[in-house]
Chain A
Amino acid sequence: MSRPPFTLAGSLEGARLVLPVLPGVCVFATAFGAAAAQKGMTVWQALSMSAFVYAGASQMVALELWRETWSPSTILTVMAVTATVNARMVLMGAAMQPWMAAAPPAQNALNLFFFTDANWLIGTRYRAEGGSDLGILFGAGVALWVVWILATLPGFLTGALIADPRRYGIDLVMPIFFSAMLVPLWKGFGPALPWAVAGTVALAVEAAIPGYLFIVAGALAGALTGALLKDGDG
């Protein structure tokens, strides 16, 4: 296995590819900043959370548990909830592993800090089209990270800049971006059978169990179906 490249040109290309989602990311980060201010966080706490946790849905959920005085048990609770909300990243990372396998571990360790939904999607598409430059993941991830931190601040300072994001469909930016990615991933009905299983299981689990377990349960069911299908070559 040859070592995949990691170039500056690839990083810049990654940053360019992520531009379409940046407005949506800005709105989400602004909403987080506004909610963090309402929950009594200081500006440094809100910015630290965006910089070091850098995972929107789990940051929002953590605000529901936010308090002024912490104890070992409340810290363990917020940690466990965070891991549950972000468990989907384990599967996204698993799907990336064949690409990263031959890269230096320290480089992967850094690259994975910036690993999130949007750059995973961009990287997956790029890889499916034959690319191998890991700078794509890195550049897209760093661009998202910088915008995520910067956009937390105006939300914190002003409450909410955008009066009604729902009116413009901003609340659905990520689902729409996600679903558009199915087109380049599409390889015919056979390879899409696991997707149908994934969707069905996700709906059933979502109806039965509150929280975000449906993503992991559905995705695992899809992967298992893929493993069992003899004709699953894509």
Chain B
Amino acid sequence: MGEFIAGPAGPYLAIAAMAAATYACRAAGVVLMSRVRLTASVQRALRALPGSIVVATVLPIALKAGAPALVGLVAALVTMSLTRHELPALLAGLAAVSLARAAGI
């Protein structure tokens, strides 16, 4: 077994292991929640979840990336509020980041 893993099949076994772990993550939330009774508080938790995931992902990344990232996020949020479409919001965000970086902010 160890010799097989150390051979040319090793990298593909590593990829298969990664694929299995990732699929388990993709499916686990749906499978687990199908076993949980949807009480009022569980429903409130699920309603709060999407925005919480977005903020918990974006805020630390943006603060780490510095002022241009924050300028870009604000530009995207403002454009999204005005237009309600992702594409102009994304373009405004990217343009703001490019300008801020070109200006050396």
Which residues of chain A have a CB within 8 Å of any CB of chain B? 17, 19-21, 24, 41-42, 45, 48-49, 52-55, 58-59, 62, 66, 68-72, 74-76, 78-80, 82-83, 86-98, 100-101, 108-109, 112-113, 115-116, 121, 124, 128, 166-173, 175-186, 191-192, 194-199, 201-203, 206, 214-219, 221-229, 232-234
Interface size, B (range): 35 or more
Q: How many angstroms between the C-alpha atoms of A91 and B77 in the bound complex? A: 24
Asked whether A218 lies within 8 Å of B93 as measured between CB atoms, the reply is: no
Interface-central residue, B16, B45, B52, B76, by most chain A CB under 10 Å? B52
Known: A169-B68, A181-B54. A78 touches B48 (CB 8 A): no
Q: List A contacts of B76 (CB < 8 A).
A: 176-177, 179-180
* CB<8 Å pairs between A and B, sample of 17: A74-B14, A79-B21, A83-B21, A89-B29, A97-B46, A124-B50, A169-B94, A169-B96, A180-B93, A195-B48, A198-B52, A203-B59, A223-B45, A223-B48, A226-B49, A232-B47, A234-B47
Residue pair A203, B20 in contact (C-beta under 8 Å): no
Out of B14, B43, B69, name the residue touching A172 (CB < 8 Å): B69
A70 & B5 in contact (Cβ 8 Å cutoff)? yes
**How would you classify the secondary structure of chain A's contact residues: helix, strand, loop or mixed?**
helix
The answer to whether B47 and A71 touch across the interface, beta carbons within 8 angstroms, is no
Question: Are A89 and B93 neighbours in the complex by a CB distance under 8 Å?
Answer: no
Q: Does B67 contact A (CB under 8 A)?
A: no
- A219's partner among B20, B49, B79 (CB-CB below 8 A) is B49
Tell me the nearest residue of chain B to A229, going by C-beta: B44
For the complex formed, measure the closest distance between the CB of A68 and the CB atoms of chain B, giving whole angstroms. Answer: 8
For A128, the closest partner residue in chain B by CB is B50
Report the bound CA distance from A224 to B46 in whole Å: 9
> Across chains A and B, which 9 residue pairs bring their CB atoms closest together, nearest first?
A226-B48, A93-B29, A222-B52, A218-B56, A169-B97, A70-B10, A198-B52, A94-B29, A97-B33
Q: A75-B17, A167-B102 are in contact. List 19 more A-B contacts (CB 8 A).
A: A72-B1, A79-B18, A82-B21, A90-B32, A95-B29, A168-B97, A169-B93, A176-B94, A177-B76, A179-B76, A183-B77, A202-B55, A225-B52, A226-B45, A226-B46, A226-B48, A226-B52, A227-B41, A233-B44
